[in-house]
Amino acid sequence: MVKWTDRKFDFEFPVAESTRLLERLRNAPDQLEALVSPLSRPMLLTRDGDTWTIQENAGHLADVELLFLGRLDDYAAGCETLRPADMSNRNTFSARHNDREIESVLAEFRRLRSELITRLEKLEPGDFGRSAMHPRLGKPMRICDMLYFQAEHDSHHLARIRELAGQRR
Protein backbone atom coordinates (compact mmCIF):
# COMPACT_ATOMS: atom_id res chain seq x y z
CA MET A 1 0.00 0.00 0.00
CA VAL A 2 1.31 3.46 -0.90
CA LYS A 3 2.16 5.53 2.15
CA TRP A 4 -0.39 8.34 2.63
CA THR A 5 2.23 11.08 2.62
CA ASP A 6 3.59 9.78 -0.70
CA ARG A 7 0.25 10.23 -2.46
CA LYS A 8 -0.05 12.98 -5.05
CA PHE A 9 -3.32 14.78 -5.69
CA ASP A 10 -4.70 16.61 -8.70
CA PHE A 11 -7.73 18.69 -7.97
CA GLU A 12 -9.03 19.15 -11.50
CA PHE A 13 -12.68 18.26 -11.07
CA PRO A 14 -15.70 20.57 -10.99
CA VAL A 15 -17.00 22.01 -7.74
CA ALA A 16 -20.29 20.19 -8.49
CA GLU A 17 -18.54 16.95 -7.44
CA SER A 18 -19.03 18.14 -3.85
CA THR A 19 -22.42 16.42 -3.71
CA ARG A 20 -20.89 13.01 -4.53
CA LEU A 21 -17.98 13.61 -2.18
CA LEU A 22 -20.30 14.55 0.68
CA GLU A 23 -22.00 11.21 0.20
CA ARG A 24 -18.67 9.38 0.49
CA LEU A 25 -17.96 11.24 3.73
CA ARG A 26 -21.46 10.49 5.07
CA ASN A 27 -20.98 6.75 4.46
CA ALA A 28 -17.55 6.36 6.07
CA PRO A 29 -18.76 5.79 9.69
CA ASP A 30 -21.08 3.01 8.50
CA GLN A 31 -18.30 1.45 6.43
CA LEU A 32 -15.90 1.55 9.35
CA GLU A 33 -18.44 0.04 11.73
CA ALA A 34 -19.32 -2.76 9.29
CA LEU A 35 -15.65 -3.53 8.86
CA VAL A 36 -14.57 -3.66 12.50
CA SER A 37 -17.70 -4.83 14.34
CA PRO A 38 -17.29 -8.51 13.45
CA LEU A 39 -13.65 -8.56 14.56
CA SER A 40 -12.56 -9.89 17.93
CA ARG A 41 -10.89 -7.60 20.44
CA PRO A 42 -7.56 -9.45 20.06
CA MET A 43 -7.73 -8.93 16.29
CA LEU A 44 -8.50 -5.23 16.72
CA LEU A 45 -5.48 -4.80 18.99
CA THR A 46 -2.88 -6.97 17.27
CA ARG A 47 0.07 -4.98 15.99
CA ASP A 48 1.71 -5.75 12.65
CA GLY A 49 5.31 -4.74 13.30
CA ASP A 50 5.49 -1.09 14.27
CA THR A 51 2.33 -0.02 12.40
CA TRP A 52 -0.98 0.96 13.97
CA THR A 53 -3.46 -1.67 15.04
CA ILE A 54 -6.89 -1.87 13.44
CA GLN A 55 -8.32 0.03 16.39
CA GLU A 56 -5.64 2.74 16.15
CA ASN A 57 -6.41 3.17 12.45
CA ALA A 58 -10.08 3.59 13.35
CA GLY A 59 -9.22 6.08 16.11
CA HIS A 60 -6.97 8.02 13.76
CA LEU A 61 -9.99 8.78 11.56
CA ALA A 62 -11.61 10.57 14.50
CA ASP A 63 -8.35 12.30 15.40
CA VAL A 64 -7.95 13.89 11.98
CA GLU A 65 -11.60 14.89 11.85
CA LEU A 66 -10.65 17.69 14.24
CA LEU A 67 -8.12 18.92 11.66
CA PHE A 68 -10.77 19.03 8.93
CA LEU A 69 -13.21 20.86 11.20
CA GLY A 70 -10.45 23.38 11.92
CA ARG A 71 -9.74 23.77 8.25
CA LEU A 72 -13.38 24.66 7.66
CA ASP A 73 -12.79 27.45 10.18
CA ASP A 74 -9.74 28.50 8.15
CA TYR A 75 -11.82 28.76 4.97
CA ALA A 76 -14.54 30.71 6.80
CA ALA A 77 -11.93 33.12 8.18
CA GLY A 78 -10.46 33.70 4.71
CA CYS A 79 -7.04 32.31 5.66
CA GLU A 80 -4.53 32.19 2.83
CA THR A 81 -3.04 28.93 4.11
CA LEU A 82 -4.80 26.05 5.85
CA ARG A 83 -3.60 24.89 9.24
CA PRO A 84 -1.01 22.13 8.90
CA ALA A 85 -1.55 18.55 9.92
CA ASP A 86 0.59 17.16 12.70
CA MET A 87 2.65 14.83 10.57
CA SER A 88 3.98 13.07 13.68
CA ASN A 89 0.39 11.97 14.44
CA ARG A 90 0.99 12.81 18.09
CA ASN A 91 -2.77 12.84 18.78
CA THR A 92 -3.21 9.30 17.57
CA PHE A 93 -0.24 8.00 19.52
CA SER A 94 -1.24 9.79 22.74
CA ALA A 95 -4.97 8.96 22.48
CA ARG A 96 -4.37 5.37 23.59
CA HIS A 97 -7.15 4.10 21.33
CA ASN A 98 -6.26 0.50 22.18
CA ASP A 99 -7.23 1.12 25.81
CA ARG A 100 -10.78 2.01 24.79
CA GLU A 101 -13.71 -0.11 23.67
CA ILE A 102 -14.15 -0.15 19.89
CA GLU A 103 -17.73 1.14 20.33
CA SER A 104 -16.34 4.30 21.90
CA VAL A 105 -13.89 4.81 19.04
CA LEU A 106 -16.66 4.31 16.47
CA ALA A 107 -19.04 6.65 18.31
CA GLU A 108 -16.43 9.40 18.45
CA PHE A 109 -15.75 9.18 14.71
CA ARG A 110 -19.48 9.14 13.94
CA ARG A 111 -20.09 12.19 16.18
CA LEU A 112 -17.26 14.24 14.70
CA ARG A 113 -18.11 13.27 11.11
CA SER A 114 -21.73 14.19 11.73
CA GLU A 115 -20.60 17.60 12.99
CA LEU A 116 -18.51 18.08 9.85
CA ILE A 117 -21.35 17.02 7.52
CA THR A 118 -23.78 19.34 9.30
CA ARG A 119 -21.41 22.27 8.81
CA LEU A 120 -20.81 21.39 5.17
CA GLU A 121 -24.54 21.10 4.46
CA LYS A 122 -24.99 24.69 5.65
CA LEU A 123 -22.62 26.01 2.98
CA GLU A 124 -23.92 27.55 -0.22
CA PRO A 125 -22.97 25.67 -3.44
CA GLY A 126 -20.53 28.43 -4.41
CA ASP A 127 -18.71 28.14 -1.08
CA PHE A 128 -17.24 24.78 -2.13
CA GLY A 129 -15.02 26.68 -4.57
CA ARG A 130 -13.30 28.71 -1.81
CA SER A 131 -9.59 28.10 -1.89
CA ALA A 132 -6.60 28.24 0.45
CA MET A 133 -3.07 26.88 0.22
CA HIS A 134 -2.57 23.35 1.52
CA PRO A 135 0.67 23.53 3.53
CA ARG A 136 2.07 20.04 2.81
CA LEU A 137 0.92 19.69 -0.80
CA GLY A 138 1.99 23.24 -1.62
CA LYS A 139 -1.00 23.88 -3.84
CA PRO A 140 -4.36 25.59 -3.55
CA MET A 141 -7.14 23.42 -2.16
CA ARG A 142 -10.79 24.30 -2.58
CA ILE A 143 -13.32 23.09 -0.03
CA CYS A 144 -14.49 20.51 -2.58
CA ASP A 145 -10.85 19.37 -2.91
CA MET A 146 -10.66 18.99 0.87
CA LEU A 147 -13.71 16.72 0.70
CA TYR A 148 -11.95 14.56 -1.88
CA PHE A 149 -8.73 14.56 0.15
CA GLN A 150 -10.64 13.52 3.26
CA ALA A 151 -12.65 10.82 1.46
CA GLU A 152 -9.40 9.42 0.07
CA HIS A 153 -7.89 9.50 3.57
CA ASP A 154 -10.90 7.52 4.84
CA SER A 155 -10.47 5.01 2.01
CA HIS A 156 -6.75 4.70 2.74
CA HIS A 157 -7.38 3.72 6.36
CA LEU A 158 -10.36 1.50 5.55
CA ALA A 159 -8.17 -0.38 3.07
CA ARG A 160 -5.43 -0.69 5.67
CA ILE A 161 -7.92 -2.09 8.18
CA ARG A 162 -9.10 -4.63 5.58
CA GLU A 163 -5.49 -5.55 4.90
CA LEU A 164 -4.75 -6.02 8.62
CA ALA A 165 -7.92 -8.04 9.16
CA GLY A 166 -7.07 -10.27 6.20
CA GLN A 167 -3.60 -10.98 7.57
CA ARG A 168 -5.10 -12.38 10.76
CA ARG A 169 -8.04 -14.43 9.52
- What is the chain's pLDDT, residue by residue, as a tens digit (169 residues)? 778 877 888 898 999 999 999 999 999 999 999 999 999 999 999 998 889 999 999 999 999 999 999 999 999 999 999 999 988 777 887 789 999 999 999 999 999 999 999 999 999 999 999 999 999 999 999 999 999 999 999 999 999 999 999 854 4
E strand or H helix that includes residue 77: none
Dist CA 26 CA 18 (whole Å):
12
Q: Helices 54-76 and 102-121 sit at what angle, rounded to 10 degrees?
A: 20
Q: What is the CATH number of the domain that holds 50?
A: 1.20.120.450
Q: How far is CA 51 from CA 3, 34, 60, 150, 163, in A?
A: 12, 22, 12, 21, 12
User: What residue numbers bound the domain in which 58 lies?
Assistant: 4-167
Structural domain count, the chain: 1
Alpha-carbon distance of 10 to 83, in angstroms, equals 20
